[in-house]
Amino acid sequence: MSEDVVVITDVNFEEEVLKSNIPVLVDFWAAWCGPCKQLAPVIDELAKEYKDKIKVGKLDTEEHNSTPAKFGIAAIPTIILFNKGQAVNKMVGAKSKKDLKAAIDAQLK
Protein backbone atom coordinates (compact mmCIF):
# COMPACT_ATOMS: atom_id res chain seq x y z
CA MET A 1 0.00 0.00 0.00
CA SER A 2 1.30 3.44 -0.94
CA GLU A 3 2.16 6.02 1.71
CA ASP A 4 -0.54 8.22 0.15
CA VAL A 5 -3.26 5.77 1.25
CA VAL A 6 -4.67 6.24 4.76
CA VAL A 7 -5.36 3.16 6.88
CA ILE A 8 -8.93 3.60 8.08
CA THR A 9 -10.26 1.74 11.12
CA ASP A 10 -13.47 1.64 13.16
CA VAL A 11 -11.66 3.92 15.64
CA ASN A 12 -10.49 6.65 13.24
CA PHE A 13 -13.33 6.50 10.69
CA GLU A 14 -15.22 9.50 12.02
CA GLU A 15 -12.12 11.70 12.19
CA GLU A 16 -10.54 10.58 8.89
CA VAL A 17 -13.71 10.30 6.79
CA LEU A 18 -16.81 11.95 8.24
CA LYS A 19 -15.00 15.07 9.52
CA SER A 20 -12.70 15.45 6.50
CA ASN A 21 -12.79 18.83 4.78
CA ILE A 22 -12.03 17.19 1.41
CA PRO A 23 -13.79 14.25 -0.32
CA VAL A 24 -12.70 10.78 0.87
CA LEU A 25 -12.64 7.59 -1.18
CA VAL A 26 -12.81 4.52 1.07
CA ASP A 27 -11.96 1.05 -0.24
CA PHE A 28 -13.62 -1.62 1.92
CA TRP A 29 -11.51 -4.75 1.37
CA ALA A 30 -10.11 -7.96 2.89
CA ALA A 31 -6.83 -9.81 2.43
CA TRP A 32 -8.51 -12.98 1.09
CA CYS A 33 -10.47 -11.09 -1.60
CA GLY A 34 -9.07 -11.61 -5.12
CA PRO A 35 -10.83 -8.62 -6.76
CA CYS A 36 -9.66 -6.44 -3.83
CA LYS A 37 -6.05 -7.40 -4.62
CA GLN A 38 -6.60 -6.55 -8.30
CA LEU A 39 -7.99 -3.15 -7.32
CA ALA A 40 -5.16 -2.28 -4.89
CA PRO A 41 -2.74 -0.83 -7.49
CA VAL A 42 -5.53 1.36 -8.90
CA ILE A 43 -6.30 2.68 -5.39
CA ASP A 44 -2.60 3.50 -4.93
CA GLU A 45 -2.48 5.31 -8.30
CA LEU A 46 -5.58 7.37 -7.45
CA ALA A 47 -4.09 8.32 -4.08
CA LYS A 48 -0.99 9.69 -5.85
CA GLU A 49 -2.89 11.40 -8.68
CA TYR A 50 -5.42 13.12 -6.42
CA LYS A 51 -3.05 13.90 -3.54
CA ASP A 52 -4.12 17.13 -1.80
CA LYS A 53 -7.49 17.07 -3.62
CA ILE A 54 -9.08 14.02 -1.98
CA LYS A 55 -8.15 11.56 0.74
CA VAL A 56 -7.89 7.90 -0.26
CA GLY A 57 -8.20 5.23 2.42
CA LYS A 58 -8.59 1.49 2.87
CA LEU A 59 -10.61 -0.22 5.58
CA ASP A 60 -9.96 -3.92 6.22
CA THR A 61 -13.42 -5.43 6.76
CA GLU A 62 -12.00 -8.46 8.57
CA GLU A 63 -10.27 -6.40 11.27
CA HIS A 64 -12.85 -3.62 11.46
CA ASN A 65 -16.42 -4.81 10.95
CA SER A 66 -18.66 -2.30 12.72
CA THR A 67 -18.13 0.49 10.16
CA PRO A 68 -18.88 -1.73 7.14
CA ALA A 69 -22.05 -2.90 8.91
CA LYS A 70 -23.20 0.73 9.36
CA PHE A 71 -22.89 1.31 5.61
CA GLY A 72 -24.50 -1.96 4.52
CA ILE A 73 -21.36 -3.48 3.02
CA ALA A 74 -22.49 -6.91 1.88
CA ALA A 75 -19.84 -7.62 -0.77
CA ILE A 76 -16.26 -6.54 -1.26
CA PRO A 77 -14.60 -4.71 -2.75
CA THR A 78 -16.99 -1.86 -2.13
CA ILE A 79 -15.82 1.68 -2.66
CA ILE A 80 -17.71 4.56 -1.10
CA LEU A 81 -16.97 8.17 -1.89
CA PHE A 82 -17.76 10.53 0.97
CA ASN A 83 -18.13 14.29 0.72
CA LYS A 84 -18.86 16.56 3.69
CA GLY A 85 -19.52 13.51 5.88
CA GLN A 86 -22.08 11.95 3.54
CA ALA A 87 -21.78 8.85 1.34
CA VAL A 88 -22.31 10.27 -2.15
CA ASN A 89 -21.34 7.33 -4.35
CA LYS A 90 -21.23 3.59 -3.57
CA MET A 91 -19.65 1.18 -6.05
CA VAL A 92 -19.67 -2.58 -5.49
CA GLY A 93 -17.14 -4.83 -7.19
CA ALA A 94 -13.83 -4.12 -8.87
CA LYS A 95 -14.28 -0.94 -10.89
CA SER A 96 -12.05 0.46 -13.60
CA LYS A 97 -9.77 3.39 -12.91
CA LYS A 98 -11.81 5.36 -15.46
CA ASP A 99 -15.04 4.76 -13.51
CA LEU A 100 -13.42 5.71 -10.21
CA LYS A 101 -11.89 8.88 -11.68
CA ALA A 102 -15.30 9.90 -13.07
CA ALA A 103 -16.87 9.50 -9.61
CA ILE A 104 -14.07 11.49 -7.96
CA ASP A 105 -14.11 14.24 -10.58
CA ALA A 106 -17.88 14.66 -10.10
CA GLN A 107 -17.21 15.56 -6.43
CA LEU A 108 -14.44 18.02 -7.27
CA LYS A 109 -16.58 20.23 -9.51
* 36 in catalytic set: yes
pLDDT in tens, 40-90: 999 999 999 999 999 999 999 999 999 999 999 999 999 999 999 999 999
Which of 1, 5, 2, 9 lies closest to 25, judged by CA? 5
Those residues with Cβ within 8 angstroms of residue 4's Cβ, 6 or more apart along the chain or in another chain:
44, 47, 48, 51, 56
List of domains in the chain: 5-108 (3.40.30.10)
Name the active-site residue from 6, 17, 36, 46. 36
In this prediction the pTM is: 0.96
Kindly report the backbone phi and psi dihedral angles of residue 94, in degrees, each rounded to the nearest multiple of 5, phi listed first.
-70, 120
Name the active-site residue from 5, 26, 33, 79. 33
* 71 in catalytic set: no
Output the average pLDDT for the chain: 96
